[in-house]
Structure 1
């Protein structure tokens, strides 16, 4: 039986501001779902739709249905200027609260988790790390996501090294914020030139990894990226 992989969604009201109907829509990039499907899983969209008093019951039900989770990127604060760029929580407060509680409970249950871009930053912050207040230049490419942008180095004897089987890699890049402090219980397993943290992974979990780049887009022409998604799926089968 194929494992079910939950994929978190953004809410358009928090991305672009109020819509004409005052409600907006939940969304996630198509490559996330297609990557899961291609690698042998069943994607399930998980929007930040909840009533506060029922949140933990809802999370319990979600985690009883899924075998693994992808905390997606996207939905960055397009309504804010660089001069007033806010924290992750300020950018998308409803999504932040929902995903932070979902992350903590998934960690307790040792459910396989892959955080991508914003999801990577969420993992870092929720578990005690931090995001730099300074925005980074040169990490937001003007090329399609399936094309790499810069080189990164993978730490030896890390899960990412075991999964990909390589030490140097060219990845894509679509971010302005970066992880500054790695949380306790995690290591920085991939870094770009200049020391920018491009991946973190839990020491104590079987598969609990954050990636600053987008393997779901790279995997179209990049085998290591496909191996990461496949590894998530394989660990989700065991979790099931």
Structure 2
């Protein structure tokens, strides 16, 4: 059986780092996303956000969709933090259309960090206006856990970890206010911040606020998550 192709969304440096529009910037994604997909048995395919790209054609060529994080709002201050769309408007609108279409086609979807927040907003949930402390770890090594999350016993993540608690990494300042209808909360930090959601219908849709792709070399349980994602992508192909 051929390996499934997994589309990975990218950030555009003009939106994230303030590169000149005249230089056109570049699209990018953290290498760990690519490594995680390859390690799990998939073929990564990077997806740039362009108005001219036909989303239906993109989804015809991939078997699963990974909404990446990265490209966060470094150019904004905490006192003047815009909403998720204003941070990266072109990316937001493109990914919103992409993920809605992927769900209709029942393509397996994973959303990580910003991608997790996209799943929340696109499917009817919301982010809080309040910025949080203690979730942007000081250690730049993404493979080092920063805090614990508490797992719901009926969740897919609990079946992977086989424990009520899990040590994960953390690189965010925004939090979920309301989980979308049809999804359940799978992981919550000790301070009440929602760290993972799962879709409750037959389609595989998983969102994590933390970065399992950064933990695959230090915590084998995260590799199981990506393997499940790849398996679902094979089934749905």
CA distance in structure 2 between the aligned counterparts of 1:21 and 1:227, rounded to whole angstroms: 43
Say which is worse superposed, 25-34 or 163-172, in terms of deviation: 163-172
Matches within 5 A, 1:143-162: 143=139, 144-162=141-159
- Cα distance per residue 1:114-156 (max 9 Å; x no partner): 0000000000001110001111101001210001000011101
Who is 1:99 aligned against?
95
SS at match of 1:77: coil
CA gap 1:20/1:46 in 2 versus in 1, 3 angstroms: closer
The Cα of 1:22 is off from its aligned counterpart by: 3.2
TM-score between both structures, scaled by the size of structure 1: 0.95
Report the alpha carbon displacement of residue 19 of structure 1 after superposing the two structures with TM.
2.5
SS at the partner of 2:23? Answer: coil
* 1:233 maps onto 2:227 in alignment: no
Structure 2 CA distance, aligned partners of 1:153 and 1:119?
Answer: 21
Match of residue 179 from structure 2: 182
Counterparts of 2:202 and 2:27 in 1: how far apart (Å)? 30
Q: Give 1:20 deviation, angstroms.
A: 7.5
Q: CA deviation at 1:5?
A: 0.5
Q: Is the 8 A contact 1:15 1:92 kept in 2?
A: yes
1:200 to 163, 175, 197: 197
Is 1:110 the counterpart of 2:111? The answer is no
Cα RMSD after superposing both structures: 1.1
| Aligned match of 1:215 | 212
Distance 1:231 1:165 in 2: 15
Deviates more, 1:164-173 or 1:125-134: 164-173
Contact 1:164-1:228 at 8 Å conserved across structures: no
Counterpart-to-counterpart distance in 2, 1:221 and 1:62: 33
- Aligned with 1:187: secondary structure? strand
| Structure 2 unaligned blocks of 5 or more | none
**Matching residue of 2:130:** 134
Question: What's the offset of the Cα at 1:161?
Answer: 1.7
**Secondary structure of 1:213's match?**
coil
Equivalent pair of 1:164/1:227 in contact (CA under 8 Å): no
Conserved in 2, the CA contact under 8 Å of 1:152 and 1:171? yes
- Tell me by how many angstroms 1:163 deviates: 3.2
Report 1:61-76 matches (<5 A): 61-76=57-72
SS of 1:153's equivalent in the other structure is: strand
TM-score (norm 2): 0.96
Contact 1:14 1:77 in 2 (8 A): no
List alignment gaps of at least 5 residues for structure 1.
none
**Pairing of 1:29-40 with structure 2 (within 5 A):** 29-40=30-41
